């Protein structure tokens, strides 16, 4: 009877250990799957962030280009204004010189 009891206890302990190992294996498998899912999600988020950053750089480049074009237009207009004023001043100086010569 004692041997039967010891054998039953050993069998119970073995079943308990096997059950615990199976549970640990299942939990490890589940944790691995969750970690894989988290890594996949992180990869997607990084892709989205990289795409957003590229879009922002592209937009900034377009804005800089537009600002540069506006600056060039302003410089061109200012140059034309200066040339018009210089031409008018030249004509005024020419007329003043002509009047001075005529008055002599």
Query: Percentage helix, strand, coil, to 5, in the chain?
Result: 100, 0, 0
Banded model confidence at residue 98, pLDDT cuts 50, 70, 90: confident
pTM: 0.50
pLDDT of residue 7: 78
Straight-line distance from the first to the last Cα atom of the chain, in angstroms, rounded to the nearest whole number: 151
pLDDT of residue 68: 93
Lowest-confidence pick of 17-21, 80-84, 88-92: 17-21
DSSP string, 19-59: HHHHHHHHHHHHHHHHHHHHHHHHHHHHHHHHHHHHHHHHH
| Kind and range of the H or E run holding 68 | helix 2-103
61 is written with which tokens?
A: 């480049």
- Can you tell me the mean pLDDT for 12-28? 84
| Kind and range of the H or E run holding 104 | none
pLDDT of residue 77: 94
- Can you tell me the mean pLDDT for 3-8? 77
Between residues 93 and 67, which one has the greater pLDDT? 67
């Amino acid at each position: 009877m004692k041997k039967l009891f010891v054998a039953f206890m050993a069998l119970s302990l073995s079943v308990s250990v096997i059950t615990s190992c199976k549970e640990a294996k299942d939990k490890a498998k589940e944790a691995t799957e969750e970690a894989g899912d988290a890594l996949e999600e992180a990869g997607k988020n990084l892709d989205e962030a990289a795409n957003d950053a590229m879009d922002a750089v592209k937009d900034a480049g377009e804005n800089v280009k537009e600002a540069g074009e506006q600056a060039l237009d302003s410089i061109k207009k200012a140059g034309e204004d200066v040339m018009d004023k210089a031409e008018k001043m030249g004509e005024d100086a020419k007329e003043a010189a002509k009047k001075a010569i005529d008055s002599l």
